[in-house]
A and B are shown apart, each in its own frame.
Chain A
Amino acid sequence: MAIDNKLDAIAHQIRYEIIKMLVPLESHHIGCSLGIVEILTALYFEVMNIDPKNPEDINRDYFILSKGHAGASLYATLALRGFFDKKLLSQYDTNGGLLPEHASRVVSGVELSTGSLGHGLPVGLGLALSAKRDKRPNKVFVLMSDGELDEGSNWEAFLFASQHKLNNVIAIIDKNGLQGFGKTEEVISVEPIKEKLESFGWAVQEADGHDLQSLKKAMTEAQNSQSDKPNIIIAKTIKGRGIPFFEGKFESHYYSISEEKKAELLSSFNKKS
Protein backbone atom coordinates (compact mmCIF):
# COMPACT_ATOMS: atom_id res chain seq x y z
CA MET A 1 0.00 0.00 0.00
CA ALA A 2 2.79 2.37 -0.90
CA ILE A 3 0.43 4.84 -2.49
CA ASP A 4 -1.57 5.27 0.67
CA ASN A 5 1.51 5.75 2.76
CA LYS A 6 2.34 8.52 0.36
CA LEU A 7 -1.16 9.97 0.73
CA ASP A 8 -0.95 9.72 4.50
CA ALA A 9 2.30 11.64 4.39
CA ILE A 10 0.69 14.32 2.25
CA ALA A 11 -2.22 14.64 4.65
CA HIS A 12 0.22 15.03 7.49
CA GLN A 13 2.08 17.72 5.60
CA ILE A 14 -1.14 19.63 4.85
CA ARG A 15 -2.05 19.47 8.52
CA TYR A 16 1.36 20.80 9.45
CA GLU A 17 1.00 23.72 7.00
CA ILE A 18 -2.41 24.55 8.47
CA ILE A 19 -1.08 24.59 12.00
CA LYS A 20 1.91 26.67 10.92
CA MET A 21 -0.45 29.16 9.28
CA LEU A 22 -3.13 29.40 11.93
CA VAL A 23 -1.53 28.79 15.28
CA PRO A 24 0.88 31.73 15.41
CA LEU A 25 -1.90 34.08 14.26
CA GLU A 26 -4.36 32.67 16.77
CA SER A 27 -6.79 32.45 13.90
CA HIS A 28 -10.26 31.00 14.14
CA HIS A 29 -11.39 27.95 12.23
CA ILE A 30 -8.51 25.64 13.13
CA GLY A 31 -10.79 22.75 13.98
CA CYS A 32 -12.84 23.13 10.79
CA SER A 33 -9.71 23.22 8.66
CA LEU A 34 -8.08 20.18 10.25
CA GLY A 35 -11.22 18.06 9.98
CA ILE A 36 -11.28 18.00 6.17
CA VAL A 37 -7.61 17.33 5.45
CA GLU A 38 -8.06 13.72 4.34
CA ILE A 39 -11.02 14.68 2.14
CA LEU A 40 -8.92 17.29 0.37
CA THR A 41 -5.93 14.97 0.14
CA ALA A 42 -7.99 12.26 -1.53
CA LEU A 43 -9.55 14.75 -3.95
CA TYR A 44 -6.47 16.72 -4.96
CA PHE A 45 -3.85 13.97 -4.87
CA GLU A 46 -5.81 11.04 -6.14
CA VAL A 47 -9.34 11.51 -7.40
CA MET A 48 -9.81 14.77 -9.28
CA ASN A 49 -8.76 15.44 -12.83
CA ILE A 50 -6.83 18.67 -12.36
CA ASP A 51 -3.61 20.18 -13.60
CA PRO A 52 -1.96 22.90 -11.54
CA LYS A 53 -0.19 24.09 -14.68
CA ASN A 54 -3.50 24.52 -16.46
CA PRO A 55 -5.93 25.44 -13.71
CA GLU A 56 -8.57 26.78 -16.13
CA ASP A 57 -8.68 23.67 -18.34
CA ILE A 58 -12.22 23.45 -19.69
CA ASN A 59 -12.45 19.73 -18.94
CA ARG A 60 -11.09 19.87 -15.39
CA ASP A 61 -12.94 18.63 -12.37
CA TYR A 62 -14.22 21.40 -10.14
CA PHE A 63 -13.97 21.61 -6.39
CA ILE A 64 -16.07 24.06 -4.38
CA LEU A 65 -15.40 24.56 -0.70
CA SER A 66 -18.90 25.53 0.35
CA LYS A 67 -17.77 25.66 3.97
CA GLY A 68 -15.50 28.55 3.04
CA HIS A 69 -14.35 29.08 6.60
CA ALA A 70 -11.93 26.20 6.14
CA GLY A 71 -10.03 28.20 3.54
CA ALA A 72 -6.68 27.50 5.21
CA SER A 73 -7.09 23.81 4.52
CA LEU A 74 -7.77 24.41 0.85
CA TYR A 75 -4.87 26.86 0.48
CA ALA A 76 -2.42 24.42 2.09
CA THR A 77 -3.65 21.63 -0.20
CA LEU A 78 -3.41 23.75 -3.33
CA ALA A 79 0.08 24.93 -2.42
CA LEU A 80 1.32 21.38 -1.84
CA ARG A 81 -0.35 20.26 -5.06
CA GLY A 82 1.64 22.92 -6.91
CA PHE A 83 -1.00 25.54 -7.74
CA PHE A 84 1.18 28.21 -6.17
CA ASP A 85 4.36 28.63 -4.14
CA LYS A 86 4.11 27.42 -0.57
CA LYS A 87 5.69 30.68 0.54
CA LEU A 88 2.42 32.40 -0.29
CA LEU A 89 0.83 30.65 2.69
CA SER A 90 2.59 33.15 4.96
CA GLN A 91 0.19 35.76 3.56
CA TYR A 92 -2.80 34.08 5.18
CA ASP A 93 -4.92 36.39 7.36
CA THR A 94 -2.28 39.11 7.38
CA ASN A 95 -2.60 42.85 6.85
CA GLY A 96 -1.99 43.52 3.17
CA GLY A 97 -1.76 39.75 2.54
CA LEU A 98 -3.30 37.72 -0.24
CA LEU A 99 -5.08 34.80 1.41
CA PRO A 100 -8.25 35.73 3.28
CA GLU A 101 -9.60 33.44 5.96
CA HIS A 102 -12.58 32.46 3.82
CA ALA A 103 -11.76 30.73 0.54
CA SER A 104 -11.19 33.28 -2.19
CA ARG A 105 -11.06 32.93 -5.94
CA VAL A 106 -8.16 35.37 -6.14
CA VAL A 107 -6.05 32.37 -5.12
CA SER A 108 -5.01 30.10 -7.99
CA GLY A 109 -7.03 26.90 -7.92
CA VAL A 110 -9.92 28.22 -5.84
CA GLU A 111 -12.99 27.96 -8.06
CA LEU A 112 -15.46 29.95 -5.96
CA SER A 113 -15.18 32.56 -3.24
CA THR A 114 -17.21 31.32 -0.33
CA GLY A 115 -17.82 32.18 3.28
CA SER A 116 -21.57 32.36 3.57
CA LEU A 117 -23.05 28.89 3.92
CA GLY A 118 -25.48 27.37 1.44
CA HIS A 119 -23.95 28.88 -1.69
CA GLY A 120 -21.62 26.17 -2.92
CA LEU A 121 -24.05 23.48 -3.98
CA PRO A 122 -26.32 25.65 -6.19
CA VAL A 123 -23.29 27.13 -7.96
CA GLY A 124 -21.85 23.64 -8.33
CA LEU A 125 -25.07 22.52 -9.97
CA GLY A 126 -24.74 25.34 -12.50
CA LEU A 127 -21.23 24.14 -13.38
CA ALA A 128 -22.51 20.57 -13.61
CA LEU A 129 -25.45 21.53 -15.80
CA SER A 130 -23.15 23.42 -18.14
CA ALA A 131 -20.86 20.40 -18.43
CA LYS A 132 -23.78 18.08 -19.10
CA ARG A 133 -25.34 20.26 -21.76
CA ASP A 134 -21.97 20.65 -23.48
CA LYS A 135 -21.15 16.96 -23.06
CA ARG A 136 -17.94 17.76 -21.22
CA PRO A 137 -16.52 15.20 -18.76
CA ASN A 138 -16.14 17.52 -15.73
CA LYS A 139 -17.13 16.24 -12.33
CA VAL A 140 -18.15 18.79 -9.74
CA PHE A 141 -17.16 18.17 -6.12
CA VAL A 142 -18.78 20.28 -3.42
CA LEU A 143 -17.71 20.02 0.20
CA MET A 144 -20.32 21.10 2.71
CA SER A 145 -20.50 21.06 6.47
CA ASP A 146 -23.25 19.32 8.39
CA GLY A 147 -24.28 22.57 10.08
CA GLU A 148 -24.59 24.07 6.63
CA LEU A 149 -27.46 21.72 5.89
CA ASP A 150 -29.66 24.06 7.94
CA GLU A 151 -29.62 26.46 4.98
CA GLY A 152 -32.73 26.09 2.83
CA SER A 153 -30.85 26.83 -0.39
CA ASN A 154 -29.22 23.39 -0.12
CA TRP A 155 -32.58 21.69 -0.09
CA GLU A 156 -33.67 23.66 -3.14
CA ALA A 157 -30.49 22.39 -4.74
CA PHE A 158 -31.02 18.78 -3.65
CA LEU A 159 -34.40 18.85 -5.39
CA PHE A 160 -33.06 20.48 -8.54
CA ALA A 161 -30.09 18.14 -8.93
CA SER A 162 -32.11 14.95 -8.92
CA GLN A 163 -34.82 16.47 -11.13
CA HIS A 164 -32.16 17.22 -13.73
CA LYS A 165 -30.19 14.00 -13.19
CA LEU A 166 -26.95 15.83 -12.46
CA ASN A 167 -24.98 12.65 -11.82
CA ASN A 168 -21.73 14.53 -12.48
CA VAL A 169 -22.12 16.16 -9.07
CA ILE A 170 -20.38 14.60 -6.09
CA ALA A 171 -21.23 16.39 -2.88
CA ILE A 172 -19.42 15.55 0.32
CA ILE A 173 -20.75 16.29 3.76
CA ASP A 174 -18.16 16.89 6.44
CA LYS A 175 -20.18 15.32 9.21
CA ASN A 176 -18.46 16.25 12.43
CA GLY A 177 -21.68 16.59 14.40
CA LEU A 178 -20.86 20.13 15.43
CA GLN A 179 -21.86 23.56 14.26
CA GLY A 180 -21.30 27.19 15.17
CA PHE A 181 -22.86 27.23 18.58
CA GLY A 182 -23.53 23.66 19.60
CA LYS A 183 -23.95 20.04 18.61
CA THR A 184 -25.80 19.54 15.33
CA GLU A 185 -28.02 16.99 16.98
CA GLU A 186 -29.09 19.54 19.61
CA VAL A 187 -29.31 22.63 17.40
CA ILE A 188 -31.06 21.39 14.26
CA SER A 189 -30.81 17.66 13.82
CA VAL A 190 -30.48 16.56 10.21
CA GLU A 191 -30.87 12.87 11.01
CA PRO A 192 -31.66 10.54 9.48
CA ILE A 193 -29.57 12.31 6.84
CA LYS A 194 -28.87 9.27 4.69
CA GLU A 195 -32.55 8.46 4.36
CA LYS A 196 -33.45 12.10 3.79
CA LEU A 197 -31.01 12.44 0.94
CA GLU A 198 -32.01 9.12 -0.57
CA SER A 199 -35.62 10.23 -0.54
CA PHE A 200 -34.48 13.38 -2.39
CA GLY A 201 -33.19 11.13 -5.16
CA TRP A 202 -29.47 11.15 -4.41
CA ALA A 203 -27.11 8.19 -4.40
CA VAL A 204 -25.76 8.25 -0.86
CA GLN A 205 -22.57 6.64 0.41
CA GLU A 206 -20.96 6.78 3.81
CA ALA A 207 -17.24 6.99 4.44
CA ASP A 208 -14.73 7.45 7.20
CA GLY A 209 -13.61 11.01 6.61
CA HIS A 210 -10.12 10.38 7.97
CA ASP A 211 -9.48 7.10 6.18
CA LEU A 212 -8.00 7.80 2.77
CA GLN A 213 -8.88 4.33 1.50
CA SER A 214 -12.48 4.69 2.53
CA LEU A 215 -12.76 8.15 0.99
CA LYS A 216 -11.05 7.10 -2.22
CA LYS A 217 -13.34 4.12 -2.57
CA ALA A 218 -16.50 6.21 -2.14
CA MET A 219 -15.28 8.97 -4.44
CA THR A 220 -14.23 6.58 -7.17
CA GLU A 221 -17.50 4.74 -6.94
CA ALA A 222 -19.38 8.02 -7.31
CA GLN A 223 -17.19 9.01 -10.26
CA ASN A 224 -17.79 5.77 -12.07
CA SER A 225 -21.44 5.43 -11.18
CA GLN A 226 -23.70 4.47 -14.07
CA SER A 227 -26.81 5.71 -12.27
CA ASP A 228 -28.37 9.04 -13.22
CA LYS A 229 -28.59 10.12 -9.59
CA PRO A 230 -26.43 12.88 -8.18
CA ASN A 231 -23.92 11.57 -5.65
CA ILE A 232 -23.30 12.45 -2.07
CA ILE A 233 -20.79 11.08 0.39
CA ILE A 234 -21.43 11.47 4.08
CA ALA A 235 -17.94 11.60 5.53
CA LYS A 236 -17.79 11.06 9.25
CA THR A 237 -15.10 13.36 10.58
CA ILE A 238 -13.66 14.66 13.80
CA LYS A 239 -13.42 18.41 14.07
CA GLY A 240 -9.92 19.45 15.08
CA ARG A 241 -8.43 16.15 13.94
CA GLY A 242 -4.72 16.09 14.65
CA ILE A 243 -4.73 18.28 17.76
CA PRO A 244 -5.71 15.92 20.56
CA PHE A 245 -7.09 18.58 22.90
CA PHE A 246 -9.20 20.05 20.07
CA GLU A 247 -10.66 16.88 18.66
CA GLY A 248 -14.42 16.77 18.70
CA LYS A 249 -14.82 20.16 20.33
CA PHE A 250 -16.98 22.80 18.71
CA GLU A 251 -14.87 25.40 20.51
CA SER A 252 -12.08 24.52 18.07
CA HIS A 253 -14.06 26.66 15.63
CA TYR A 254 -12.95 29.64 17.70
CA TYR A 255 -10.25 28.80 20.24
CA SER A 256 -6.76 30.03 20.00
CA ILE A 257 -4.08 28.03 21.71
CA SER A 258 -2.04 28.86 24.80
CA GLU A 259 1.60 29.82 24.33
CA GLU A 260 3.04 26.58 25.79
CA LYS A 261 0.71 24.44 23.75
CA LYS A 262 1.61 26.38 20.62
CA ALA A 263 5.29 25.52 20.92
CA GLU A 264 4.54 21.93 21.81
CA LEU A 265 2.23 21.51 18.88
CA LEU A 266 4.56 22.99 16.30
CA SER A 267 7.52 20.93 17.44
CA SER A 268 5.53 17.69 17.60
CA PHE A 269 4.36 18.19 14.04
CA ASN A 270 7.86 19.10 12.96
CA LYS A 271 9.22 15.85 14.32
CA LYS A 272 6.65 13.74 12.58
CA SER A 273 7.01 15.31 9.15
Chain B
Amino acid sequence: MRPGIIKAVHNHMKKNKDSYFLTGDLGFSVLEELQKEFPTRVINMGVAEQNMIGVASGLALSGKKVFVYSIVPFVTMRCYEQIRNDICYHNLDVMIIGLGGGLSYGVLSATHFALEDFAIMRPLPHMNIFSPSDEMEAVLGMEALLNRQGPVYVRVGKKSEPTVYEKPFSFTFGKANIYSESKRDNIVIFATGPILSEVVKAIPLLEKQGIMPTVVDVHTVKPIDAKLIERISAGKTLAVSVEEHYRIGGFGSAVAEVLSQVVGSPRLLIIGTDDRFIKELGNHDYLRETFGLSASGLTDQIVKAFKKE
Protein backbone atom coordinates (compact mmCIF):
# COMPACT_ATOMS: atom_id res chain seq x y z
CA MET B 1 0.00 0.00 0.00
CA ARG B 2 3.01 2.30 0.30
CA PRO B 3 3.12 3.13 -3.45
CA GLY B 4 -0.59 4.08 -3.45
CA ILE B 5 -0.13 6.37 -0.49
CA ILE B 6 2.91 8.10 -1.94
CA LYS B 7 1.13 8.50 -5.25
CA ALA B 8 -1.84 10.13 -3.51
CA VAL B 9 0.54 12.49 -1.70
CA HIS B 10 2.29 13.24 -4.98
CA ASN B 11 -0.97 14.22 -6.69
CA HIS B 12 -1.96 16.31 -3.72
CA MET B 13 1.36 18.18 -3.67
CA LYS B 14 1.08 18.85 -7.38
CA LYS B 15 -2.23 20.62 -6.87
CA ASN B 16 -1.46 22.23 -3.53
CA LYS B 17 1.59 24.44 -3.37
CA ASP B 18 1.09 24.84 0.37
CA SER B 19 2.01 21.27 1.19
CA TYR B 20 5.27 19.90 2.54
CA PHE B 21 6.67 16.40 2.92
CA LEU B 22 9.25 15.71 5.62
CA THR B 23 11.08 12.41 5.86
CA GLY B 24 13.24 11.12 8.68
CA ASP B 25 16.03 10.07 6.33
CA LEU B 26 14.03 7.23 4.78
CA GLY B 27 12.63 6.69 1.33
CA PHE B 28 15.26 4.92 -0.74
CA SER B 29 13.62 3.72 -3.99
CA VAL B 30 10.28 5.19 -2.84
CA LEU B 31 10.59 8.96 -2.52
CA GLU B 32 13.02 9.85 -5.30
CA GLU B 33 10.36 11.02 -7.74
CA LEU B 34 8.58 13.09 -5.14
CA GLN B 35 11.87 14.67 -4.14
CA LYS B 36 12.77 15.41 -7.74
CA GLU B 37 9.47 17.06 -8.54
CA PHE B 38 9.22 19.16 -5.34
CA PRO B 39 12.82 19.81 -4.32
CA THR B 40 11.93 22.71 -2.02
CA ARG B 41 8.92 21.07 -0.40
CA VAL B 42 10.23 17.58 0.17
CA ILE B 43 12.80 17.80 2.94
CA ASN B 44 15.01 15.12 4.36
CA MET B 45 15.07 16.10 8.01
CA GLY B 46 17.86 13.70 8.89
CA VAL B 47 17.62 11.20 11.70
CA ALA B 48 16.01 13.68 14.09
CA GLU B 49 12.34 12.94 14.66
CA GLN B 50 11.70 15.38 17.50
CA ASN B 51 12.88 18.26 15.36
CA MET B 52 10.97 16.85 12.40
CA ILE B 53 7.64 16.96 14.25
CA GLY B 54 8.45 20.42 15.62
CA VAL B 55 9.28 21.78 12.17
CA ALA B 56 6.16 20.12 10.76
CA SER B 57 4.14 21.90 13.45
CA GLY B 58 5.70 25.26 12.67
CA LEU B 59 4.96 24.81 8.97
CA ALA B 60 1.39 23.81 9.79
CA LEU B 61 0.96 26.77 12.17
CA SER B 62 1.71 29.02 9.22
CA GLY B 63 -1.02 27.35 7.19
CA LYS B 64 0.76 24.50 5.42
CA LYS B 65 -0.39 20.91 5.11
CA VAL B 66 2.46 18.69 6.21
CA PHE B 67 3.22 15.01 5.72
CA VAL B 68 5.84 13.38 7.94
CA TYR B 69 7.24 10.00 7.02
CA SER B 70 9.26 7.38 8.85
CA ILE B 71 9.08 3.94 10.43
CA VAL B 72 6.32 3.73 13.05
CA PRO B 73 8.36 3.67 16.29
CA PHE B 74 10.58 6.52 15.12
CA VAL B 75 7.76 8.77 13.96
CA THR B 76 5.40 8.08 16.87
CA MET B 77 7.31 7.01 19.97
CA ARG B 78 10.59 8.88 19.64
CA CYS B 79 8.72 12.15 19.29
CA TYR B 80 5.51 11.41 21.14
CA GLU B 81 5.45 14.55 23.23
CA GLN B 82 5.98 16.69 20.14
CA ILE B 83 2.95 14.94 18.61
CA ARG B 84 0.91 15.63 21.73
CA ASN B 85 1.95 19.21 22.52
CA ASP B 86 2.84 20.62 19.13
CA ILE B 87 0.54 18.82 16.67
CA CYS B 88 -2.49 17.73 18.68
CA TYR B 89 -2.72 20.47 21.32
CA HIS B 90 -2.63 23.00 18.49
CA ASN B 91 -4.85 20.85 16.27
CA LEU B 92 -2.53 21.20 13.29
CA ASP B 93 -2.87 19.83 9.78
CA VAL B 94 -0.16 17.19 9.93
CA MET B 95 -0.40 13.67 8.54
CA ILE B 96 1.94 11.20 10.17
CA ILE B 97 2.73 8.37 7.78
CA GLY B 98 4.13 5.45 9.75
CA LEU B 99 5.69 2.51 7.93
CA GLY B 100 5.76 -1.05 9.14
CA GLY B 101 2.49 -1.52 11.04
CA GLY B 102 2.43 -4.56 13.32
CA LEU B 103 5.01 -7.25 12.66
CA SER B 104 5.56 -6.37 9.02
CA TYR B 105 9.27 -5.64 9.41
CA GLY B 106 9.76 -9.34 10.20
CA VAL B 107 13.43 -10.20 10.60
CA LEU B 108 14.29 -6.59 11.42
CA SER B 109 12.69 -7.57 14.69
CA ALA B 110 11.49 -5.94 17.90
CA THR B 111 12.90 -2.42 17.61
CA HIS B 112 11.10 -2.02 14.28
CA PHE B 113 7.74 -3.55 15.19
CA ALA B 114 4.69 -1.40 15.77
CA LEU B 115 2.60 -3.11 18.40
CA GLU B 116 1.88 -0.13 20.68
CA ASP B 117 1.03 2.60 18.21
CA PHE B 118 -2.77 2.41 18.40
CA ALA B 119 -2.53 2.43 22.18
CA ILE B 120 -0.49 5.61 22.29
CA MET B 121 -2.13 7.51 19.44
CA ARG B 122 -5.75 6.78 20.40
CA PRO B 123 -6.01 8.91 23.55
CA LEU B 124 -4.62 12.05 21.90
CA PRO B 125 -7.40 14.61 21.41
CA HIS B 126 -7.87 15.70 17.76
CA MET B 127 -5.90 12.69 16.51
CA ASN B 128 -7.45 10.53 13.78
CA ILE B 129 -6.18 7.05 12.97
CA PHE B 130 -6.37 5.40 9.57
CA SER B 131 -5.36 1.76 9.28
CA PRO B 132 -5.86 0.53 5.71
CA SER B 133 -5.90 -3.15 4.86
CA ASP B 134 -4.60 -3.02 1.29
CA GLU B 135 -3.58 -0.80 -1.60
CA MET B 136 -7.13 -0.13 -2.79
CA GLU B 137 -8.34 0.91 0.64
CA ALA B 138 -5.22 2.98 1.24
CA VAL B 139 -5.88 4.95 -1.94
CA LEU B 140 -9.57 5.45 -1.17
CA GLY B 141 -8.72 6.52 2.37
CA MET B 142 -6.07 8.97 1.25
CA GLU B 143 -8.55 10.60 -1.13
CA ALA B 144 -10.91 11.13 1.79
CA LEU B 145 -8.22 12.26 4.20
CA LEU B 146 -6.59 14.71 1.83
CA ASN B 147 -9.85 16.63 1.75
CA ARG B 148 -9.83 17.08 5.51
CA GLN B 149 -7.61 18.98 7.89
CA GLY B 150 -6.16 18.15 11.28
CA PRO B 151 -3.88 15.54 12.80
CA VAL B 152 -3.96 12.06 11.26
CA TYR B 153 -1.88 8.99 11.85
CA VAL B 154 -1.74 6.61 8.90
CA ARG B 155 -0.53 3.15 9.81
CA VAL B 156 1.00 1.78 6.65
CA GLY B 157 2.15 -1.81 6.12
CA LYS B 158 5.45 -2.47 4.48
CA LYS B 159 4.88 -3.33 0.86
CA SER B 160 2.93 -5.63 -1.42
CA GLU B 161 0.24 -6.63 1.05
CA PRO B 162 -2.23 -9.19 -0.33
CA THR B 163 -5.20 -7.68 -2.12
CA VAL B 164 -8.39 -7.60 -0.10
CA TYR B 165 -10.45 -5.35 -2.33
CA GLU B 166 -10.52 -6.01 -6.08
CA LYS B 167 -12.78 -3.04 -6.79
CA PRO B 168 -13.25 0.41 -5.29
CA PHE B 169 -16.07 0.80 -2.77
CA SER B 170 -17.80 3.71 -1.16
CA PHE B 171 -15.32 4.81 1.49
CA THR B 172 -16.16 7.18 4.31
CA PHE B 173 -13.54 8.08 6.89
CA GLY B 174 -14.92 7.16 10.30
CA LYS B 175 -17.39 4.60 8.92
CA ALA B 176 -16.40 0.96 9.09
CA ASN B 177 -16.96 -1.15 5.99
CA ILE B 178 -18.90 -4.41 6.16
CA TYR B 179 -16.62 -6.67 4.19
CA SER B 180 -18.89 -9.70 4.11
CA GLU B 181 -22.17 -10.43 5.79
CA SER B 182 -23.42 -13.91 6.49
CA LYS B 183 -27.23 -14.30 6.47
CA ARG B 184 -27.10 -16.86 9.25
CA ASP B 185 -24.21 -15.23 11.07
CA ASN B 186 -23.57 -16.06 14.70
CA ILE B 187 -20.36 -14.12 15.21
CA VAL B 188 -18.95 -10.81 14.05
CA ILE B 189 -15.25 -10.23 13.42
CA PHE B 190 -13.89 -6.69 13.48
CA ALA B 191 -10.50 -6.42 11.84
CA THR B 192 -8.15 -3.55 11.06
CA GLY B 193 -5.13 -3.32 8.78
CA PRO B 194 -3.54 -5.84 6.42
CA ILE B 195 -4.35 -8.72 8.76
CA LEU B 196 -7.85 -8.46 7.30
CA SER B 197 -6.52 -10.64 4.47
CA GLU B 198 -5.94 -13.47 6.98
CA VAL B 199 -9.42 -12.97 8.40
CA VAL B 200 -10.86 -13.26 4.91
CA LYS B 201 -8.98 -16.53 4.39
CA ALA B 202 -10.33 -17.76 7.72
CA ILE B 203 -13.99 -17.32 6.70
CA PRO B 204 -14.33 -20.70 4.88
CA LEU B 205 -12.34 -22.43 7.63
CA LEU B 206 -14.76 -21.12 10.25
CA GLU B 207 -17.80 -21.99 8.18
CA LYS B 208 -16.63 -25.60 8.02
CA GLN B 209 -16.93 -25.61 11.79
CA GLY B 210 -20.43 -24.15 11.75
CA ILE B 211 -19.34 -20.66 12.63
CA MET B 212 -20.88 -18.07 10.31
CA PRO B 213 -18.98 -14.80 10.57
CA THR B 214 -19.87 -11.34 9.46
CA VAL B 215 -16.60 -9.53 8.80
CA VAL B 216 -16.24 -5.81 9.36
CA ASP B 217 -13.23 -3.85 8.14
CA VAL B 218 -12.61 -1.08 10.65
CA HIS B 219 -10.18 1.03 8.65
CA THR B 220 -10.73 4.02 10.90
CA VAL B 221 -9.52 3.21 14.39
CA LYS B 222 -10.27 6.74 15.57
CA PRO B 223 -12.94 7.99 15.53
CA ILE B 224 -14.22 4.45 15.87
CA ASP B 225 -17.57 3.64 14.23
CA ALA B 226 -19.40 2.98 17.48
CA LYS B 227 -22.84 2.94 15.85
CA LEU B 228 -22.02 0.17 13.44
CA ILE B 229 -20.15 -1.86 16.04
CA GLU B 230 -23.12 -1.66 18.39
CA ARG B 231 -25.70 -2.44 15.72
CA ILE B 232 -23.90 -5.35 14.14
CA SER B 233 -22.91 -6.99 17.43
CA ALA B 234 -26.49 -7.20 18.63
CA GLY B 235 -27.65 -10.80 18.96
CA LYS B 236 -24.32 -12.41 18.07
CA THR B 237 -22.93 -15.27 20.13
CA LEU B 238 -19.43 -13.81 20.04
CA ALA B 239 -17.67 -10.68 18.88
CA VAL B 240 -14.01 -10.84 17.84
CA SER B 241 -11.45 -8.12 17.19
CA VAL B 242 -8.32 -8.83 15.17
CA GLU B 243 -5.23 -6.63 14.92
CA GLU B 244 -1.46 -6.86 14.72
CA HIS B 245 -0.83 -5.01 17.96
CA TYR B 246 -0.56 -5.87 21.63
CA ARG B 247 -3.91 -6.88 23.04
CA ILE B 248 -3.46 -4.11 25.58
CA GLY B 249 -4.79 -0.73 24.61
CA GLY B 250 -5.14 -1.14 20.87
CA PHE B 251 -7.98 -1.63 18.41
CA GLY B 252 -9.55 -4.38 20.49
CA SER B 253 -9.66 -2.06 23.45
CA ALA B 254 -11.41 0.52 21.29
CA VAL B 255 -14.06 -2.05 20.35
CA ALA B 256 -14.35 -3.08 24.02
CA GLU B 257 -14.88 0.54 25.00
CA VAL B 258 -17.88 0.59 22.67
CA LEU B 259 -19.36 -2.77 23.61
CA SER B 260 -18.94 -2.19 27.35
CA GLN B 261 -21.57 0.53 27.04
CA VAL B 262 -24.11 -1.72 25.36
CA VAL B 263 -26.51 -3.71 27.50
CA GLY B 264 -26.50 -7.38 26.54
CA SER B 265 -23.60 -7.10 24.11
CA PRO B 266 -21.76 -10.32 23.27
CA ARG B 267 -18.44 -11.27 24.84
CA LEU B 268 -15.48 -9.83 22.93
CA LEU B 269 -12.48 -11.97 22.04
CA ILE B 270 -9.53 -9.63 21.52
CA ILE B 271 -6.96 -11.17 19.21
CA GLY B 272 -3.54 -9.57 19.10
CA THR B 273 -0.06 -10.21 20.45
CA ASP B 274 0.82 -11.21 24.01
CA ASP B 275 2.21 -8.88 26.66
CA ARG B 276 5.86 -9.65 25.95
CA PHE B 277 8.65 -8.61 23.58
CA ILE B 278 8.94 -10.82 20.55
CA LYS B 279 12.20 -12.73 20.56
CA GLU B 280 11.27 -15.24 17.87
CA LEU B 281 13.00 -14.47 14.59
CA GLY B 282 11.32 -14.78 11.23
CA ASN B 283 9.56 -13.06 8.37
CA HIS B 284 6.09 -11.56 8.61
CA ASP B 285 4.26 -14.76 7.63
CA TYR B 286 6.36 -16.85 9.97
CA LEU B 287 5.61 -14.53 12.88
CA ARG B 288 1.89 -14.49 12.14
CA GLU B 289 1.95 -18.28 12.04
CA THR B 290 3.92 -18.43 15.32
CA PHE B 291 1.55 -16.11 17.17
CA GLY B 292 -1.74 -17.54 15.95
CA LEU B 293 -2.40 -14.64 13.60
CA SER B 294 -2.48 -16.60 10.33
CA ALA B 295 -5.83 -17.74 8.91
CA SER B 296 -5.56 -21.11 10.64
CA GLY B 297 -4.31 -19.60 13.91
CA LEU B 298 -7.16 -17.11 13.92
CA THR B 299 -9.62 -19.93 13.18
CA ASP B 300 -8.33 -21.97 16.12
CA GLN B 301 -8.59 -19.03 18.54
CA ILE B 302 -12.10 -18.16 17.39
CA VAL B 303 -13.38 -21.76 17.44
CA LYS B 304 -12.08 -22.25 20.95
CA ALA B 305 -13.79 -19.09 22.21
CA PHE B 306 -17.01 -19.85 20.33
CA LYS B 307 -17.25 -23.30 21.91
CA LYS B 308 -17.14 -21.73 25.37
CA GLU B 309 -20.28 -19.71 24.66
Give residues in A with beta carbon < 8 Å to B.
105, 111-116, 118-119, 121-131, 133, 152-153, 156-157, 159-160, 163-164
Contacts and interface: CB of A to CB of B under 8 A. Distances in A.
A119 B90 CA distance: 13
Contacts of B46: 156, 159-160, 163
Contacts of A121: 54
Contacts of A124: 58
Nearest to B66: A126
Given A105-B90, A127-B61, A160-B48, A122 B54 contact: yes
Contacts of A159: 46, 48, 51
A128 B64 CA distance: 12
Contacts of B258: none
Nearest to A133: B40
Nearest to B81: A116
A130 B89 contact: no
Contacts of B82: 119, 122, 153
Given A105-B90, A126-B56, A133-B40, A156 B61 contact: no
Interface string B43-63: 101101011111111111111
A113 B58 contact: no
Interface secondary structure of B, over-half rule: helix
A130 B50 contact: no
A111 B57 CA distance: 12
B85 A113 contact: yes
The 7 closest A-B pairs by CB, nearest first: A126-B58, A122-B54, A156-B51, A156-B48, A153-B50, A130-B62, A126-B55
30 contacts: A105-B90, A111-B61, A119-B86, A121-B54, A122-B50, A122-B54, A122-B57, A122-B86, A123-B57, A125-B55, A125-B58, A126-B54, A126-B55, A126-B56, A126-B58, A126-B61, A127-B62, A129-B58, A130-B64, A133-B40, A133-B41, A156-B46, A156-B48, A156-B50, A156-B51, A157-B51, A159-B48, A160-B46, A160-B48, A160-B55
Interface string B27-44: 000000000000011010
Contacts of A153: 50-51, 54, 82
B48 A126 contact: no
B257 to A, nearest CB: 28
Contacts of A112: 61, 86, 90
Contacts of A116: 81, 85
Interface of B: 40-41, 43, 45-46, 48, 50-64, 81-82, 85-86, 89-90
Contact of A119 (B41, B54, B60, B64): B54
Nearest to A113: B89
Contacts of A115: 85
A210 to B, nearest CB: 30
B58 A122 contact: yes
Contacts of A125: 51, 54-55, 58
Nearest to B63: A130
A157 B54 contact: yes
Nearest to A152: B50
Contacts of B41: 133
Nearest to A124: B58
Most buried by B among A112, A115, A156, A164: A156
A122 B51 contact: yes
A153 B54 CA distance: 9
B51 A129 contact: no
B45 A123 contact: no
Nearest to A131: B62
Contacts of B52: 122
B234 to A, nearest CB: 42
Given A113-B90, A116-B81, A116-B85, A123 B58 contact: yes
Contacts of B61: 111-112, 123, 126-127
Contacts of B43: 129, 164
A119 to B, nearest CB: 6
Given A122-B51, A123-B55, A159-B48, 11 more contacts: A113-B85, A113-B90, A121-B54, A122-B82, A123-B54, A128-B58, A129-B43, A129-B58, A130-B58, A159-B46, A163-B46
A130 B63 CA distance: 9
Greatest chain A CB density within 10 A among B51, B56, B57 is at B51
Contacts of A126: 54-62
A239 B45 CA distance: 35
Contacts of B58: 122-130
Contacts of B54: 119, 121-123, 125-126, 153, 157
Nearest to B84: A116
A118 B79 CA distance: 11
A120 B250 CA distance: 31
Contacts of B63: 130
A105 B61 CA distance: 11
A160 B62 contact: no
A98 B251 CA distance: 36
Contacts of A127: 58-59, 61-62
